[in-house]
Amino acid sequence: MKAIRNTDFQFSGQTNAYFGKVRDMYTIGDDLMVAVVSDRISAFDVVMPRGIPFKGQVLNGVASHFLDAVTDIVPTWKLATPDPNVTVGHKCEPIRLEMVIRGYLTGHAWRQYKAGHRELCGAAMPEGMKEHDRFPEPIITPATKAEEGHDEDIAPADILARGIVSPEMWAELERVTRALYKRGTELAAEQGLILVDTKYEFGLRNGVLTLIDEIHTPDSSRYFYAEGYERRQAAGEPQKQLSKEFVREWLMAHNFMGKDGQTPPHMDDDFLDTVTQRYVELYEKVTGKDFRGDDHPDPHSRVAEAVETWLRENAH
């Protein structure tokens, strides 16, 4: 399977293109976006040199599944998925925040806690907790959405002081984020999983708050297996995770954390296969569906054809 590492499409009616860490966004006319989800993988805000076969299809499939599952909570940008690597949707004016919500003391929150901090982005983290313990209430720890470089933690008070959003919009962002996390938690529980933490991104379409980008994917979320969670916590054992944390751990074991002057280690074919298998496992576990990847020998031409067909039939 040939991984989609880079794209350079020229779709009919295309007016702009933006190349993100994983998604390449093509603007069509005034109000359509085509997201081509590549097979690139990023960690520590650095894109790795090699792509992961089928990763884009997994991300796009999971995001599509969950976008459809939350339309009663908030409007979403999605219109269609004409290709396994593609979502077409409404163009929105992005809000420059990542709404990160954490139900458990894990990952970045744990690293801060271990360093002695008892507050993250203005949210209190109680004394006496250990790694992977559940918070009494999920905490929202927003990050500014950087155009380039690292996203930065930011407290709600600073969001308001900087005028990133109005107090009314902040209240709505917080309400919707909690509602989405609650829904994600319920859907994960049905599959025997715990949605540990996740992030949501929003935009405005005709002044209406709209969910954009991906949701509840392995790139934006962390899952634990629910079975054995309590036992592992009581025994002080590591939790069984379903996320891309294992990629970060592999990189750290190879002395890479995205710091200046560090070069990403080489990922050999065996490791790429392992990452693919983990992503496919995650797709099947979180959606409850079998993964049927499209291994077209020329995925770029497949994408171009699918998008052009959709635009011809739907873009009026």
Predicted local confidence at residue 44, as pLDDT: 87
Predicted local confidence at residue 286, as pLDDT: 93
Provide the mean pLDDT of the chain: 95
State the pTM of this model: 0.91
132 pLDDT higher than 70: yes
Share of the chain above pLDDT 70, in %: 98
| Interval 14-43: pLDDT, tens | 999 999 989 999 999 999 999 999 999 998
| Interval 176-219: pLDDT, tens | 999 999 999 999 999 999 999 999 999 999 999 999 999 999 88
Burial 55-79 (b: 16+ CB within 10 A, else e): bbbbbbbbbbbbbebbeeebebbbe
Q: Which residue has the higher pLDDT, 44 or 287?
A: 287
- Residue 20, Cβ density class (10 Å: 0-12 exposed, 13-18 middle, ≥19 buried): middle
Confidence bin at 1 (pLDDT 50/70/90): confident
- CATH annotation of 94-242: 3.30.470.20
| Mean pLDDT of the 133-141 span | 98
HEC secondary structure over 187-217: HHHHCCEEEEEEEEEEEEECCEEEEECCCCC
Predicted local confidence at residue 316, as pLDDT: 67
| Interval 247-277: pLDDT, tens | 989 999 999 999 999 999 999 999 999 999 9
Predicted local confidence at residue 40, as pLDDT: 95
Following CA atoms 236, 241, 244, 246 in sequence, which dihedral angle do they give, to the nearest 10 degrees?
50
